[in-house]
Structure 1
């Protein structure tokens, strides 16, 4: 659900070494302290381009969160949002971090804002569905999953998840239909794999 923003630029023009910039840009895929060091170097360099600085705060937030440092992640997302108030990715990422702390209402407010800014941002719908489910608001979780499934109708994980939400609401017929559909999609995928 988290997203890194990769900004293409010439590292030499940034006064940041190439390894630091690369580590920062790849924060979502690296699981070490390298992204934190890289993004910190970008931030300390006093980037002249706002987009680079915002990306560095957002990506360092991703790295902090993956290291279990949720409060530090939230602080970095706050900085990214302060610099670029309409940056839906950082708003969504902060919501994910807040959800990790059990602050579901604040997280949902962030997901709502990210969706308001980008109505096609499916990551925010998925994150909000998870927050609603954690709050026991399964009907709202289903509504958000419906939005994603409309765009990605062959995703068995989403369909199975929606089935689980329907079951929790007592809609066993709808749940069974989703479970069968998800199972059929998985079977079809397995059959289509090269042997």
Structure 2
């Protein structure tokens, strides 16, 4: 089932999400719905707060990014083959490398894209959908998407990484989104 995506301005996007355990009700169905919602809105990742659940769950599919790169672009992300993965109770252990820019967007902040600087690598501890514990290091565009989705668990949005002048320049667009004055081809939930 495709879930409505929470729009900018909804308080759930600013809350720190909570860890869950294997007894969380209907988790398999919720994760399946997250995948369906992400693909239905042409996303490459989505976090539970974006579908109005304040829990530490996100899904990422960067294989679709890597597979659609031009040959010369693949050199920009050496060794990054992409992932399709569920992250539960994720917590960043370490970051490495130089900050580098990438033009990011967000399903909760439609029609706005900006360059955001993030580190090259992230080491993250998380559980998979079977609650098996992992600790892995990711790099390239996969690390980028993980950072973005992880931020949602911390109540942080990609626009929070922008310089003050850039934020002022997009303020009216953000206000329009929070008031429901935006058209997208997926279901959105606006604050009332």
TM-score normalized by the length of structure 1: 0.28
Question: Which structure has greater strand proportion?
Answer: 2
- The structure having more radius of gyration, on CA atoms, is 1
Question: Which structure has greater helix proportion?
Answer: 1
TM-score normalized by the length of structure 2: 0.28
Higher relative contact order (CA 8 A, sep 6+): 2
